Structure 1
């Protein structure tokens, strides 16, 4: 990081599959469209539209972002002396934080409309830093807004198991930002990428996923933006 606190706004056109790693910074994401998945240990958490998630310094995690998702990231350098939350988890996006992120996004989109743009961005980020000092996070649920039965079925879906309850098939797209079938296809391609990174060949990957190389290619083009090699 060049600055102690940095902001970025991202439109993730295709599937992003991050590796499992320890964070060298602390950071928050706030999802505006689509959804993201954070893996902490053996548990995976779904961050839907309107929700925020916090990752502290040195936290072992993996991030997956679904195609078409739009989100903000605010990163905090480990050099900061300001006390930051040391736990990972969901946090409530306050009206003030939402407004600050909107202003930062407008500022980056139209920097020439503001005087002393670097100073303006620095001031906005300083206010966010103040907000973060009182951040309260939770990992009691895998997705805010779902009851225990619904959360259990979402966990089943994330593990690659089928769900058939009509009520869930109707409700989950609101949280996933896509249909259940599209989500399942993204998880298939995520696993294919992970196997590829471990050194498996395409035909071996197709066999492990009980599909064909041709089927993986058909999924890869809209999800990854390229053929699966």
Structure 2
């Protein structure tokens, strides 16, 4: 990282599939549209539109941004001396953070990324605000059902109609779309580990061309 704080905005034209690793910086992820999935340990947590999530330095995680989603991230270097949270978790939506992120996105497009100008001051405002928050777990019935629904789709199971509608409402995608993306994500992991498209196709009872087409359309793998 060139600066102590960096901002990025991502429009996921294809799935963004992060590797599972410990990151050497802290991150705040904000979802504008669609959803991101964050794996912590054995659990994959959905971060939906207008939600934020905090990942501290050295946190072992894997982030997936669903195709069609829009997210912003703020990354904080170890050089940052501010006392940022040391626990991963959800951060309550705030008009302050929403406004800062909107301004950062606009200024990055129009004015560049000058640390000594208004852009840098906005980054420092975001950093200072995040020193005041307390990331938290989400553990109500609705949340647990979302987590279980994602796990079921990832395993190839169908969802009851009412549960499927709740998942679609939360993530902003049809259950069919979610299931396809989760399936392709697993293919990407196999592909990157050395499995050919032909071998993947044989394992999932599809033609090689069908697998290659989905890898390209959903994950940008050509």
| TM-score computed with the length of structure 1 as normaliser | 0.88
1:31-64 Cα deviation digits (max 9, x unpaired): 0011111111111011111111111101111111
2:131 maps to 133
Unaligned runs of 5+ in 1: none
Please tell me whether the aligned partners of residues 153 and 163 of structure 1 are also in contact (alpha carbons under 8 angstroms): no
1:170 maps to 165
Which of residues 142, 145, 157 in structure 2 aligns to 1:146?
A: 142
2:67 maps to 67
1:99-128 Cα deviation digits (max 9, x unpaired): 11111111112218xxx7841011111111
Which of residues 193, 202, 213 in structure 1 aligns to 2:197?
A: 202
Please report how far the alpha carbon of residue 140 of structure 1 lies from its aligned counterpart in structure 2 after TM superposition: 3.4
How many aligned positions are there?
A: 222
Please tell me whether the aligned partners of residues 111 and 117 of structure 1 are also in contact (alpha carbons under 8 angstroms): no
1:17 maps to 17
Please tell me whether the aligned partners of residues 197 and 212 of structure 2 are also in contact (alpha carbons under 8 angstroms): no
2:99 maps to 99
Q: Does 1:33 align with 2:29?
A: no
SS in 2 for 1:67: coil
Please report how far the alpha carbon of residue 13 of structure 1 lies from its aligned counterpart in structure 2 after TM superposition: 0.7
Cα distance in 1 for residues equivalent to 2:164 and 2:218: 21
1:193-220 Cα deviation digits (max 9, x unpaired): 1011112222222233443323212322
Please tell me whether the aligned partners of residues 25 and 75 of structure 1 are also in contact (alpha carbons under 8 angstroms): yes
Unaligned runs of 5+ in 2: none
Cα distance in 1 for residues equivalent to 2:46 and 2:205: 26
SS in 2 for 1:146: helix
Report the CA distance shift for 1:3/1:145 in structure 2 as closer, same or farther (over 3 A).
farther
Cα distance in 2 for residues equivalent to 1:66 and 1:151: 15
Matches within 5 A, 1:44-55: 44-55=44-55
Cα distance in 2 for residues equivalent to 1:135 and 1:219: 40
Cα distance in 2 for residues equivalent to 1:57 and 1:117: 22
1:45-87 Cα deviation digits (max 9, x unpaired): 1111111111110111111111111111111001112111111
| TM-score computed with the length of structure 2 as normaliser | 0.90
Q: Over aligned residues, Cα RMSD in angstroms?
A: 2.2
